[in-house]
């Protein structure tokens, strides 16, 4: 006699789980609302970068070693007005090619934007926006940093306001 109530409870549990999965799948199928997009453009005044020797094993004919770091703190302008700054660090990942893995925080009045990029000799750097705070707390997207060669450059960010499925902005 106990088998019938247990079987009924098991069937109810299976149906309940199946219903929850169906509701979850339906809300995911509907998908999130389209991401909101904003393009930010800045004139950059680069700081002299600071080089930090972190690798004790050094090639005497090279000033740079694998794992050494560069740190920077640059100023951002828009329409001639100072609007923020960016600070970050780059770890040397390939001495021969002069490549460094960089992370940075872009600080603006409305919040911060975090980004990563591979830094190398070409003047064009492609950035991945990895997050933010304030109005940028759901930020994703990409950007381009262009060095002009005279201590200045431009930074263009395509900021998406990402929303989790089933969430709202």
Residues 101, 107, 111, 115, Cα dihedral to 10°? -10
The vertex-159 CA angle with 153 and 162, nearest 5°, equals 160
Q: What is the pLDDT along the chain (169 residues), one digit of tens a residue?
A: 444 443 333 333 333 433 433 333 333 444 555 668 999 999 999 999 899 999 988 888 888 999 999 999 999 999 999 999 999 999 999 999 999 999 999 999 999 999 999 999 879 999 999 999 999 999 999 999 999 999 999 999 999 998 765 655 5
Nearest to 36 by CA among 141, 150, 111: 141
């Amino acid at each position: 006699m106990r088998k019938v109530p247990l079987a009924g409870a098991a069937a109810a549990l299976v149906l309940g789980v199946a219903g929850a999965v169906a509701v979850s799948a339906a809300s995911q199928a509907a998908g999130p609302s389209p991401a909101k997009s904003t393009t930010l453009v800045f004139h950059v005044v680069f700081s002299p970068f600071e080089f930090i020797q972190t690798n004790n094993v050094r090639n005497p004919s090279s000033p740079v070693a694998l794992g050494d770091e560069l740190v920077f703190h640059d100023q951002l302008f828009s329409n001639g007005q100072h609007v923020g700054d960016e600070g970050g660090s780059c770890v040397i990942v390939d001495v021969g090619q002069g490549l460094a893995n960089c992370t940075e925080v872009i600080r603006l009045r409305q919040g911060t934007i975090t980004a990563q990029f591979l830094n190398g000799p070409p003047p064009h750097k492609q950035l991945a926006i990895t997050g933010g705070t304030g109005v940028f707390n759901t930020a994703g997207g990409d950007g381009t940093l262009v060095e002009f060669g005279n201590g200045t450059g431009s930074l263009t960010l395509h900021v998406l306001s990402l929303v989790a499925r089933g969430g709202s902005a």
